[in-house]
Structures are given as structure tokens and as C-alpha cells.
Amino acid sequence: MIERLGDREIQTLPPGEAAFAATVDVEDWFHTNYRSAPALDQGRLPRRVEASMDRVLEAFAAAGARGTFFVLGCVARDHPRLVPRIASAGHEIACHGMTHTLIYEQEPKAFADGVSGARRLLEDQSGKAVLGFRAPSWSLTLRSLWAFDALAEAGFRYDSSVFPAGNYLYGITGAPRAPYRVPTTAGPLVEAPPPALALGPWRIGVGGGFYLRALPLWVHRRAMRNYARAGSVFPLYVHPREMDPEAWPLRLPLSFGERMIHDWAIAAVPGRIRRLLSSRRWEPLGDILRRRGLLP
């Protein structure tokens, strides 16, 4: 079925078996895109990503879960042992960009150069093809649909960046919640969006980030059941700082509202993630899409 996403023609894909993808955005505690956050000298900030990833990998191993780890290129560059460690644990390596910069605040050439360089670095470190991409802060929006072409040209085969509900920072209102195919100048790209719960005409995010912390656990479980009944893919997502109690006291100079989004109920995340991981069979996103015949 052919639909539209802004000025793009997209192809919705048929449902398949219920599938649950565990995903991680591999970044440090200070990688954010809040409007109130000032420019920071990151070289002077404490690094927590390796210690935080210890907690994430332990939780996945305890649940027998395998996942997709969307790694920032700058993190891989500064911590060269991290990607091989993730890959050796049986997880898929995917790309989160070179830096944690909003796509729609970049020039197309700068974005293309950055994701191409990040992909090469991640492939060199993991020894495997990197097929998936996720934008920092879900910043593939109506303002940056040109990024689909850049991603396909760089060699990516799927994306997980289009949040199917709009807010002040990201998302596209009315975008499909199930996977769809996006034609590009360099061939088709599969979009596997993050999850959202439909409540009449409204949508609300589930399965990760602020939504995982702010909404009762039963809401996320209900969303998972809904996705399963629809034969869709439910991508759970987590950030390393959310699993690391020693990172929680590290604060950014944010406005009151954005500080609430950043820190609200963060201590609930480790327990909730462990409970969700133990409740289903979680796989890498690439494995699910490949099984559905959507990837080479």
C-alpha cells in the first residue's frame, strides 16, 4: 500500500509474526539535544559510558536477550574497546551518527560525511556490516527527510528514527507506527519506528526514555500486546545513563521543564528494563527485519 510521509511516497509493509527488538542508544550521560542545554566542553566532563554499558550488558545477559546497539561514532572513537565487547556478546552494532547532533540542524553534506565516517569506524571495530541507523533525539523529521537519501547512499539498509508522534523537539504526527519502506535515490530503506500507543486521535510514546519512566509499567505491557496482535515490531529502547546509578547525580544546566524530562523517575529504569527483558524474547532489530525478508 502506498502512502505519503510529507513529500515522500512510502510503502507500508504487511504484518508478520509478533517480534520484540531490544535497542540501546550507546552515548554518554551528557549527550543530549535539549533547547536549554548550553554548549559544553565535553573534554572536561567525566566519562561514564563504559561503566554504564557494564550495567546494560549485564542486564541483557541475565535475561538472555540480544539487541541492537546504536553507537555514537565519537564514543566508539574515544572508547575503542567498547564496540568489540558489545559485538562479542552477540549483539548487533548499528550507528547513532558521529556526534549527537540533530539532523535538521546539519547541512546535508556534513550529515552524509558524518554518518559515512561513523559507519566505517563501527564496521572496522566490529568486523561486521553496519546496516542500521538511529538519529540522535529522533531528529529525522519533516525538516530532514533528505536524510533518507544520505543514509541509503552511505550503505545503511534500515533506519529507526521517525517517531510517530510530534512534539517540540522531534517526531512526525501521523507517521506509521509499523515498519514501512522508503524509496530513495540509492535504493529502498526500511523504516522501523519507535513504539507509540494510540489513544483515539492521540499518540503517546512507550517503551523507552521519558515515557518508560513517566507511565506505569502496565501501559508499556499493554502497548507490547497491541503490537503483537497487529503482527508488528516493538522496539524497546534504553540509554546507558538510565541503568547507571553513579551517573544519575551528574547534572546538566537545564531549564526546569527539561530537567524534569531528563531526570524524572530515573531510578525506576533498571528494574523496569529488567522486568521487560525477562518477559519476552528480545532480538536485534536487524535479525527481525532480515527474517521478514526486508534486509539482505
Q: Is residue 35 included in any domain, yes or no?
A: no
**Is 40 a residue whose pLDDT tops 90?**
no
> Could you tell me how far CA 246 lies from the centroid of its own chain?
23
Whether residue 165 is predicted with pLDDT greater than 90 in this model: the reply is yes
Residue 19 counted as domain residue: no
Angle at 51 between CA 49 and CA 54, to 5 degrees: 105
Residue 38: the pLDDT is 81
- Is residue 23 a part of any domain in this protein? no
Q: Provide the pLDDT for residue 87.
A: 98
Under 8 Å CB-to-CB from 211, ≥6 apart: which residues?
204, 205, 220
> For residue range 270-280, what is the model confidence (pLDDT) as tens digits?
999 999 999 99
What pLDDT was estimated at residue 224? 97
Question: What would the pLDDT profile of 78-95 be if each residue is shown by its tens digit?
Answer: 999 999 999 999 999 999
Instruction: In whole angstroms, give the CA distance from residue 223 to residue 166.
Output: 18
Closest alpha carbon to 147 in 164, 161, 130, 163: 161
280-289 pLDDT, tens digit each: 999 999 999 9
Calpha distance 156→172 (Å, rounded): 21
So what's the pLDDT on residue 201?
A: 80
* CA 265-161-99 angle, 5° bins: 80
Question: Is 24 within the bounds of a domain?
Answer: no
18 vs 103: CA distance, rounded Å: 31
pLDDT tens across 224-256, in order? 999 999 999 999 999 999 999 999 999 899 999
Q: Assess if residue 71 is contained within a domain.
A: yes
pLDDT at position 247: 96
Q: Residue 139: which CATH number? A: 3.20.20.370
Which ranges of the chain would DSSP assign to H, the alpha helix?
49-63, 73-78, 82-88, 108-126, 147-154, 209-214, 217-229, 256-263, 269-277, 285-291
Asked if pLDDT for residue 162 goes beyond 90, the answer is yes
Alpha-carbon gap, residue 198 to 213, rounded angstroms: 18
Structural domain boundaries, residue 283? 2-8+45-291
Q: Is 14 contained in some domain?
A: no
Confidence of residue 168 (pLDDT cuts 50, 70, 90): very high
Segment 196-211 shows an average pLDDT of 92
Report pLDDT for 2: 65
**In contact, 282 and 68? CB cutoff 8 Å:** no
Calpha distance 178→40 (Å, rounded): 37
Q: Given the C-alpha cell 531528529, which residue does it identify? A: 139
What's the domain count of the chain?
1
